[in-house]
């Protein structure tokens, strides 16, 4: 063989080894996410649904739980996708010739983006509908009972749902773009239909993030206040402990002497209330035993960090709005070749990249908090060891929609300059200037409005409670005034 043939063989062998290495890394990453999500879901599932007398129902719920675990792992991977890419670029930029990070390259990052896109489509369009119909199915009438009968019914329902969604997408395509070529492109199921359908789902996810994130940014202050110990000026734990002890003693007395009251008592309800009060009293005692550093330093620092992160997010969005007006490169776009390690995606270098990653995680957490705080999705909130299987499926679908829209959401708001890779950048609405500009303006306006309203109301209420003005018979702003009839009496 000639030298050229040996060179071609060595290049092919190197490419093969690179592909194998990327596959192993991807499998290890996904396996780690899958294990973490499985442990997380087992903490919320209802044990009675998996230990029923009917082995068929238990088997169906176990299969549905594994599908939900897969979907939640994909959602977590979508959340980590953009931060991992930004950090990888900075690492390659700082250590370009390091032997131990040669496995970290643009091909691996691009492959991870494509895998997340593929698994997101698979989960949203097939796995989650299959899991829901599978748990609700009972088998066709006249057929043999068993898991296989439920599978047949679920497959039929899934085919009918696919035809229905295909028809809806076809009609939507005809309304939006009445072009023969665009409608014929939908015949290509893999190259056009799935990306177009996922583009619609991603657009809905971005709109959902637009609503939930400002609400969550405002709610983060109250949620953090409940988790941390407040200074004594803002919280009287001794009074709360005394009230909890008195309520627990009163309910315990009712449980011990149920015949002393002439009203019929619900003993099970009273028992649950006593357990809840005992749990609350234990938490209050732990908060009471907190050190002075935790009380006087932890809470102010946490509030200051939240305020800085929220203000920085609004500031970056405002700067991005100005950039959209004067610079065309500020528009989000997609690229097919991930050339990492050449230039930093932040003007502040590695420090700016770390800020971008922190802001992306912060906005994702805020969006989840705002999602579960919304009255529309309040019923979906999972409960510890008491979440039904259908509710777990609904939560996994919603979290996947939010997380898969996070890269597009972050790039649209200008939180990072890292361009969207793979099919994430093929969404048609990303190139519309008016949609991107109005989206940024709406996010900045809604976030500012929610923060001003929530922060001023919370500070006013805390100061009133701290000085004891809420217990005085005075008409204080923010509290209901007494009626004239009661005043005369």
pLDDT of the residue at 158: 87
pLDDT of the residue at 307: 85
Task: Tell me which of 98 and 161 has the higher pLDDT.
Answer: 161
Of 232, 213, 230, which is closest to residue 222 (Cα–Cα)?
Answer: 230
Residues 95 and 6: beta-carbon distance below 8 Å: no
Residues 61 and 42: beta-carbon distance below 8 Å: no
> Would you place residue 484 in the very low, low, confident or very high pLDDT band (cuts 50, 70, 90)?
very low
Q: Read out DSSP for 252-315?
A: HHHHH-GGGSSS---HHHHHHHHHHHHHHHHHHHHHHT--HHIIIIIHHHHHHHHHHHHHHHHH
Instruction: Return the sign of the alpha-carbon dihedral for residues 134, 135, 140, 146.
Output: positive
pLDDT of the residue at 454: 72
Determine the Cα–Cα distance for residues 427 and 200; give it in Å rounded to an integer.
9
For the stretch 313-338, pLDDT in tens is: 888 888 888 888 887 777 776 555 55
Instruction: Return the sign of the alpha-carbon dihedral for residues 306, 311, 312, 313.
Output: positive
For the stretch 407-443, pLDDT in tens is: 888 888 888 877 676 666 666 667 778 888 898 899 8
User: Tokens at residue 212, please?
Assistant: 């939930």
Q: At residue 51, does pLDDT exceed 90?
A: no
Task: Tell me which of 143 and 161 has the higher pLDDT.
Answer: 161
pLDDT of the residue at 462: 61
Write down how long the chain is: 489
Residues 104 and 92: beta-carbon distance below 8 Å: yes
User: Tokens at residue 282, please?
Assistant: 């234990």
Distances (CA, A) of 278 to 178, 267, 346: 64, 16, 51
Q: At residue 268, does pLDDT exceed 80?
A: no
Determine the Cα–Cα distance for residues 481 and 471; give it in Å rounded to an integer.
13
pLDDT of the residue at 76: 92
For the stretch 56-84, pLDDT in tens is: 778 888 888 999 999 999 999 989 988 88
Residue 2, classed as helix, strand or coil, is: coil
User: Tokens at residue 474, please?
Assistant: 């005075």
The mean pLDDT value of the chain amounts to 76
User: Tokens at residue 52, please?
Assistant: 């029923």
For tokens 């400002």, what's the residue? 214
Q: At residue 447, does pLDDT exceed 70?
A: yes
> Would you place residue 488 in the very low, low, confident or very high pLDDT band (cuts 50, 70, 90)?
very low
Q: At residue 34, does pLDDT exceed 60?
A: yes
Determine the Cα–Cα distance for residues 318 and 323; give it in Å rounded to an integer.
9
Residue 420, classed as helix, strand or coil, is: strand
The model's pTM is 0.77
pLDDT of the residue at 70: 93
Determine the Cα–Cα distance for residues 13 and 142; give it in Å rounded to an integer.
57
Of 310, 303, 446, which is closest to residue 366 (Cα–Cα)?
Answer: 310
User: Tokens at residue 138, please?
Assistant: 């009972």
Determine the Cα–Cα distance for residues 22 and 27; give it in Å rounded to an integer.
9
């Amino acid at each position: 063989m000639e030298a050229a043939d040996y060179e071609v063989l060595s290049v092919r062998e190197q490419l093969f080894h690179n592909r194998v290495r990327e596959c192993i890394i991807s499998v290890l990453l996904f396996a780690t996410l899958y294990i973490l999500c499985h442990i997380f879901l087992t903490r919320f599932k209802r044990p009675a649904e998996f230990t029923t007398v009917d082995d068929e129902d238990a088997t169906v719920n176990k299969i549905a739980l594994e599908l939900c675990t897969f979907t939640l792992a994909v959602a977590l991977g979508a959340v980590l996708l953009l931060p991992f890419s930004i950090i990888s670029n900075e690492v390659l930029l700082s250590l370009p010739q390091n032997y131990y990070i040669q496995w970290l390259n643009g091909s691996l990052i691009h492959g991870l983006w494509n895998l997340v896109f593929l698994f997101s489509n698979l989960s949203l369009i097939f796995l989650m509908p299959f899991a829901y119909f599978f748990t609700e199915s009972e088998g066709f009438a006249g057929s043999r009972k068993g898991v296989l009968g439920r599978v047949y019914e679920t497959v039929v329902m899934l085919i009918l749902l696919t035809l229905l969604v295909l028809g809806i997408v076809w009609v939507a395509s005809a309304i939006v773009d009445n072009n023969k070529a665009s409608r014929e492109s939908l015949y290509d199921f893999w190259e056009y239909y799935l990306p177009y359908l996922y583009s619609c789902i991603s657009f809905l996810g971005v709109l959902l993030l637009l609503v939930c994130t400002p609400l969550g940014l405002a709610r983060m202050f109250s949620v953090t206040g409940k988790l941390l110990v407040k200074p004594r000026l803002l919280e009287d734990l001794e009074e709360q402990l005394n009230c909890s002890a008195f309520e627990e003693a009163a309910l315990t007395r009712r449980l011990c002497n149920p015949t002393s009251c002439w009203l019929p008592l619900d003993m099970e309800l009273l028992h649950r209330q006593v357990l809840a009060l005992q749990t609350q009293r234990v938490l209050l005692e732990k908060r009471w035993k907190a050190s002075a550093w935790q009380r006087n330093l932890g809470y102010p620092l946490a509030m200051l960090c939240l305020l800085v992160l929220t203000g920085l997010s609004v500031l970056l969005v405002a700067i991005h709005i100005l950039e959209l007006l004067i610079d065309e490169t500020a528009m989000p776009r997609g690229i097919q070749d991930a050339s990492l390690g050449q230039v930093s995606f932040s003007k502040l270098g590695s420090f700016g990249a770390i800020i971008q990653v922190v802001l992306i995680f912060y906005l994702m957490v805020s969006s989840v908090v705002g999602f579960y705080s919304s009255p529309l999705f309040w019923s979906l909130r999972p409960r510890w060891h008491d979440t039904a299987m259908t509710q777990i499926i609904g939560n996994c679908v919603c979290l996947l929609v939010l997380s898969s829209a996070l890269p597009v959401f972050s790039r649209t708001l200008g939180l990072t300059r890292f361009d969207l890779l793979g099919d994430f950048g093929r969404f048609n609405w990303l190139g519309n200037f008016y949609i991107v500009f109005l989206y940024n303006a709406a996010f900045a306006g809604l976030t500012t409005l929610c923060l001003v309203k929530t922060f001023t109301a919370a500070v006013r209420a805390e100061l009133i409670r701290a000085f004891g003005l809420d217990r005085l018979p005075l008409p204080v702003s923010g509290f209901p005034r007494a009626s004239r009839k009661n005043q005369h009496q």
